[in-house]
Amino acid sequence: MPSNILKERLESKQYEKLLRIDNPDLHEFIAKYIEHCTPEKVFVCTDSVEDIKYIREISIENGEEIKLTAENHTIHFDNYNDQARDKKNTKILLPQGVELDKAINTARRKESLEEIHKIMKDIMKGKELYIRFFCLGPTNSEFSQPVMQMTDSAYVAHSEDLLYRQGFEEFVRQGRNARFFKIVHSAGELDERNTSKNLDKRRVYIDLEKNMVYSANTQYGGNTIGLKKLSMRLAINRGKKEGWLTEHMLVMGVHGPDNRVTYFTGAFPSLCGKTSTSMLDNETVVGDDIAYLRKIDGRVRAVNVEKGVFGIIMGVNSKDDPIIWNALHSSAEIIFSNILMTPEGGVHWIEKDGEIPEKGINYSGEWYKGKKDENGKEITVSHRNARFTIALKNFNNLDPTLHDPKGVEIGGMVYGGRDSDTWVPIKEAFDWAHGIIAYGASLESETTAATLGQEGVRKFNPMSNLDFLSVSLRDYINANLDFAKGLEKEPSIFAVNYFLKDKDGNFLNSREDKKVWYKWAELRANRDVDAIDAPTGRIPKYEDLKKLFKEIINKEFTQEDYNEQFKIRVKENIAKIARIEKIYRTQIIDAPQILHDILEEQRERLLSAQEKHGEYIKPSKLAQQGIRF
Ligand code: SPV
Ligand code: MN
């Protein structure tokens, strides 16, 4: 009997907490994994002040976090070789006979379950297991998704406290009706620095059938924080069946004239400006990473799945990121990870204001300026993927709707990648399907110096969601297309490109220009300004941008700037269509025909424009002649 196991293995205080949730399946599940992973102790977190405090303190006591000098700040280190998501060992488990696209990492369910259970047998020996309950999306809402996490890492349990809405009471309320996700994580054996040791046995396995994720022998948040990318993969699958979307998207309020706020979602692959967009200081942030989207009363509504930020810290400085900078220098509860801790208990990271300290402790252990790795490569002061974890309530641009159970109505959706030579800085799709296919499903991003391998290589990343798909691309794209059915009002879909370069390789835009693009998109979403029909979508009129540049960032935007930035690059756009078509023809199983049709129409528009105006088309030509493509 599972309840006997629980009674035997749990102290009576913990057992009683668990009994408050009337759900035999849940009890059975917990009992099964306690028996399997054999922790020495079990702690059930009810979200009470004492329970939360216990987790915060135990992560310092057991050495997974170290107290810094600044109040409420701690630092955590992941193993030197455990600094990012492990794509190779993250797999969607599929039963015999079911296939997904090559671009999605999958494995056979039966064999993989055997393997992971073997890896996790007795994995928590000598450790304490923390059981936590959360709610993805606001509580008491159509969007609410309950999740139960079991982890032997107090750092993981603590991070979740800053990032997710408490759910214990929600589990009590829902009792036997809860359709919850289950995550079992173990950091595995730890080394002398309290980092996961058996990285060769690092695994993240997603079992769609049981709505469950296993994560073993890793600590890095993207592999272990069960409510983030692990639950996201389960949610994409669940949403597909039920007609809602889980997107790798920020949600922000863009402030228009007369106190109007129009909410936007935005999808950007890593290092393409997603966080900096969500933190624009003249707008308000609802979320920076994951959104659920539902159709409610004929409108698209969205919520932030989370309530905190697990953000990249590289490059954060007082000038470019004042909001993040201020939050990181407040007495808010913060967990820094994989940056430098100075001998005085301060912190430093790549491109922080001020001098790089001579020495300290970082993700490589004892560190000093000029330290090299075993291949002779210099070890940077912090890892490029080093992060900070903090609740959103500490940002002064927080939008008041964060916890609204109804979510916010979405007026615009944005897709953006790193693209030096093809897309204009901003454009609007002709309609929903055009936006989903020609922008979202065609998203690519150029690699940067921050990733391994060659720089400037375009990586295909539809909707910036490729790493998290648990359904085929065909189904995912169809779900996005179908989402517009029955809508009374479709959000406008935009594409942005912050990374356009001139022929000498210089960026054509400054960081603050993006503020203008969003103000224009807000006006467009409300049809307050006209636009020019270009072959690739609608582009802004010069007069509108000139006015906005002056008003918003006090900058003269010249006709030359406009012509250079918004000229239609026919050759590059056609080359892009060819690349994307080829991927869908050769690598994706049964891509929907409409995808090919929409891309073909776009190619034809480009070719006919090229015949009239040449390879690079100034927008003034399109405007003057009033060509309607
Ligand atoms: C991302 O890489 O998209 C992140 C960080 O948001 S992780 O949690 O690693 O997914
Ligand atoms: Mn992300």
Closest atom of ligand 1 to CA, residue 387: 5
Under 8 Å between Cβ of 226 and 217: no
Helices then strands, counting H and E runs in the chain, come out as: 19, 33
**454 CA distance to ligand 1 middle (Å):** 21
Q: Is the pLDDT at 624 greater than 70, yes or no?
A: no
pLDDT mean over 404-416 = 98
Query: Is pTM, for the whole model, over 0.95?
Result: yes
207-266 per-position pLDDT tens digit = 999 999 999 999 999 999 999 999 999 999 999 999 999 999 999 999 999 999 999 999
Residue nearest to atom 1 of ligand 1 (CA): 270
**What's residue 449's pLDDT?**
67
State the DSSP string of 100-140: --TTS-EEEHHHHHHHHHHHHTTTTTTSEEEEEEEEESSSS
How many Å apart are CA 610 and CA 574, to the nearest integer? 11
User: For the chain, what is the largest distance between any 2 Cα atoms, rounded to a whole number of angstroms?
Assistant: 81
How many Å apart are CA 373 and CA 352, to the nearest integer? 22
Q: Which amino acid is at 177?
A: N
Pocket flag, ligand 1, residue 228 (CB < 6 Å): yes
pLDDT band of residue 2 (cuts 50, 70, 90) is low
Closest atom of ligand 1 to CA, residue 228: 8
Summary mean pLDDT of the chain: 96
How many Å apart are CA 12 and CA 217, to the nearest integer? 30
427-471 per-position pLDDT tens digit = 999 999 999 999 999 999 998 766 666 788 999 999 999 999 999
Q: Identify any residues that bridge with 92 across adjacent strands, giving them in sequence order.
A: 106, 206
pLDDT band of residue 628 (cuts 50, 70, 90) is very low
pLDDT band of residue 109 (cuts 50, 70, 90) is very high
**231 CA distance to ligand 1 middle (Å):** 13
Q: Is the pLDDT at 629 greater than 70, yes or no?
A: no
Pocket flag, ligand 1, residue 310 (CB < 6 Å): yes
pLDDT band of residue 59 (cuts 50, 70, 90) is very high
Q: Are strands 181-186 and 212-216 parallel, antiparallel or unpaired?
A: parallel
**What's residue 451's pLDDT?**
62
Catalytic residue, candidates 37, 45, 135, 272: 272
Q: What percent of the chain has pLDDT over 70?
A: 98
CA of 249, nearest ligand number: 2
**What's residue 454's pLDDT?**
79
Residue 45 annotated to the active site: no
**96 CA distance to ligand 2 middle (Å):** 30
**What's residue 413's pLDDT?**
98
How many Å apart are CA 22 and CA 248, to the nearest integer? 34
**What's residue 3's pLDDT?**
66
Q: Is the pLDDT at 281 greater than 60, yes or no?
A: yes
**290 CA distance to ligand 2 middle (Å):** 7
Cβ neighbors of 596 (< 8 A, separation 6 or more) are 581, 584, 585
Pocket flag, ligand 1, residue 268 (CB < 6 Å): no
Under 8 Å between Cβ of 413 and 438: no
Q: Is the pLDDT at 483 greater than 70, yes or no?
A: yes
In which residue are the tokens 């993989």 written?
112
Q: Is the pLDDT at 349 greater than 90, yes or no?
A: yes
Under 8 Å between Cβ of 540 and 619: no
**What's residue 16's pLDDT?**
97
How many Å apart are CA 271 and CA 293, to the nearest integer? 23
326-337 per-position pLDDT tens digit = 999 999 999 999
Cβ neighbors of 505 (< 8 A, separation 6 or more) are 420
Q: Are strands 181-186 and 145-151 parallel, antiparallel or unpaired?
A: parallel
| Pocket mutation for ligand 1, best pick of 229, 231, 337, 384 (most atoms within 8 Å of C-beta) | 229
pLDDT mean over 36-49 = 98
Residue nearest to atom 3 of ligand 1 (CA): 270
